[in-house]
């Protein structure tokens, strides 16, 4: 990040360089310098390379190298790299890894072509670079942009917004689900029957429910506020864009610093949910939240098992979902407290907007979203380092947590302590 030729003006400090590199590799999108004006074309290409590497994942590249050398994947590496076989038995791990790369470059190429056509009349030959950068950034759910105001200048460009939304959705739905949809399509063309796994059905359903619910809520909350100057169709389009990208991507067509508090809190909730497991997206993941929701519904009906659509979800999966929720909630809550201590001066502590801004920042960083209410550029060095930590842990922490439990699920405990109950509620 500090190499000559990558930037204009003074080089980045170590902290800012670390912040920018972490944000790119962790496909977050939070920035302390303007990507459009601070970095040269070579610097933007370097950022894009980090986004691509971080989006596909180091484990995926490691698996590809192992396969290219003709070696076998160890069980430990297989468990940490992809979804266990019992979740999607029709999906082979080796084929899945190849499909990840195939899907990534295919979708990015198509997205870049669409954006190039849309931007050619405006940018001429420069449209190619803008299109490539945004296609990769959108599919990797990174949120970096070569425009200083992100996509606020394209509020009235349905082709651009639709393309970005589709790329964000495909990048955040999960490669296991994409591979299963691909297999379903192939089997459908041959007349054979292929049933999606419970994982894919739950991921697709949860994603669509959250997206549609967020769409309606954003439209209602901002209809007469930040969207008020737009015609009706444009309000609906931008409300949908806010719902799709708020869950993980970080692009914006409105200024969140002037949005209603209710809108920003709704955005915090969507950022916390995130995308689906095994995707470019961050967050708790839609399936995690769905499993917790199914658990709550089962308990309310007095059932001891967690079931949906005629299938019982294993108890260890439910425990992993609850454990991940507790760990993530604890880390984000602690980070919000640290932001408040570092950033909020006692003289301004009575202004509630300050707290919301840093709560927004903490959730955005941990869930690798990249949206901001304008607090990123004001962060002190300790707060920047805290943000770096949140982005890193938010990117690798949930995966490591889930993989560690998955790798140990065969272990047997040789004893247990005596039972003793406690009062709950």
Beta carbons of 357 and 375 less than 8 angstroms apart: yes
Average pLDDT, integer, range 268-284: 89
Q: Which residue has the higher pLDDT, 193 or 368?
A: 368
pLDDT value at residue 115: 97
User: Token pair for residue 387?
Assistant: 């943000």
Find tokens 């349905």 and name the residue: 158
pLDDT class of 76 with cuts at 50, 70, 90 = very low
Asked if residue 418 is part of any domain, the answer here is no
Percentage of the chain beyond pLDDT 70 is 84
Residue 307's DSSP bridge partners are: 312
Residue 423 belongs to some domain of the structure: no
Neighbours of 32 (CB within 10 A): 19
Within a domain: 202: yes
Higher pLDDT, 281 or 384: 384
pLDDT range class, residue 78, cuts 50, 70, 90: very low
Q: What is the pLDDT of residue 398?
A: 62
| Mean pLDDT of all residues in 14-35 | 93
Which pLDDT value is given to residue 77?
Answer: 46
Instruction: Give the alpha-carbon dihedral of 300, 304, 306, 308, to 10 degrees.
Output: -70
What is the reported pLDDT for 55? 85
What tokens appear for 272 in the block?
């916390």
Task: Please report whether residue 6 resides in a domain.
Answer: no
Residue 173 lies in a domain: yes
The encoded tokens of residue 417 equal 């302590």
Q: What is the pLDDT of residues 171-183, one digit of tens each?
A: 999 888 888 888 8
Tell me how far apart the alpha carbons of residues 354 and 377 are, in angstroms, rounded to a whole number: 14
Per-residue pLDDT tens digits for 390-416: 999 888 766 565 555 555 554 555 667
Per-residue buried b or exposed e for 84-110, using 16+ beta carbons within 10 Å of the residue's own CB: eeebbeebebeebbbbbeebbeebbeb
Q: Given this model, what pLDDT does residue 282 score? A: 86
What DSSP string describes 193-216?
A: -----HHHHHHHHHHHHHHHHHHH
Cβ-contact 49, 132 below 8 angstroms? no
Bridge partners (DSSP) of residue 311 are 308
CA 154, CA 423: separation in Å to the nearest integer? 55
Which structural domain range is residue 218 located in? 14-407
Q: Look at the chain and report how many structural domains it folds into.
A: 1
For the chain, the average pLDDT equals: 85
Examine residue 417 and state whether it is found in any structural domain, yes or no.
Answer: no
Residue 126 lies in a domain: yes
According to the model, what pLDDT value does residue 213 have? Answer: 96
pTM of the model: 0.88
In a domain, residue 424? The reply is: no
């Amino acid at each position: 990040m500090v190499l000559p030729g990558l930037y204009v003006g003074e080089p980045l400090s170590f902290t800012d360089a670390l912040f920018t590199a972490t944000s790119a590799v962790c496909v977050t999108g939070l920035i302390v310098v303007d990507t459009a004006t601070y970095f040269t074309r070579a610097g933007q290409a370097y950022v894009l390379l980090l986004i691509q590497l971080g989006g596909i994942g180091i484990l995926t590249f490691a698996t590809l190298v192992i396969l290219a050398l003709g070696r076998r994947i160890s069980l430990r590496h297989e468990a940490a790299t992809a979804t266990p076989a019992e979740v999607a038995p029709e999906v082979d791990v080796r084929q899945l890894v190849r499909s990840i790369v195939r899907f990534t470059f295919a979708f990015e190429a198509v997205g870049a072509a669409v954006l190039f056509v849309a931007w050619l009349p405006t940018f001429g030959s420069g449209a190619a670079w803008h299109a490539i950068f945004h296609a990769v950034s959108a599919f990797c759910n990174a949120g970096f942009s070569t425009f200083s105001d992100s996509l606020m200048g394209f509020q009235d460009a349905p082709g651009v917004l639709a393309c970005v939304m589709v790329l964000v959705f495909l990048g955040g739905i999960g490669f296991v689900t994409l591979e299963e949809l691909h297999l379903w399509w192939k089997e459908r063309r041959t007349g054979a029957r292929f049933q999606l796994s419970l994982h894919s059905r739950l991921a697709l359903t949860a994603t669509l429910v959250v997206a549609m619910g967020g769409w309606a809520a954003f439209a209602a909350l901002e209809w007469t506020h930040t969207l008020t100057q737009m015609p009706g169709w444009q309000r609906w389009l931008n409300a949908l864009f806010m719902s799709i990208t708020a869950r993980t991507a970080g692009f914006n067509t409105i200024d969140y610093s002037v949005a209603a508090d209710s809108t920003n809190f709704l955005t915090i909730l969507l950022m916390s949910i995130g995308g689906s497991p095994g995707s470019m997206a961050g967050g708790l993941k839609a399936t995690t939240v769905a499993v917790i929701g199914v658990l709550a519904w089962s308990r309310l009906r007095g059932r001891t098992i967690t079931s949906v659509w005629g299938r019982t979800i294993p108890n260890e999966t439910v425990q992993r979902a609850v454990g991940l929720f507790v760990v993530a909630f604890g880390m984000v809550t602690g980070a919000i407290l640290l932001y408040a201590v570092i950033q909020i001066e006692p003289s301004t502590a009575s202004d509630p907007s300050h707290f919301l801004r840093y709560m927004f920042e903490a959730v955005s960083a941990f869930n690798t979203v990249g949206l901001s209410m304008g607090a990123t550029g004001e962060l002190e060095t300790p707060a920047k380092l805290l943000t770096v930590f949140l982005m890193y842990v938010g990117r690798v922490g949930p995966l490591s947590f889930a993989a560690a439990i998955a790798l140990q699920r065969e272990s047997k405990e040789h004893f247990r302590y005596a039972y003793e109950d406690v009062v709950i509620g």
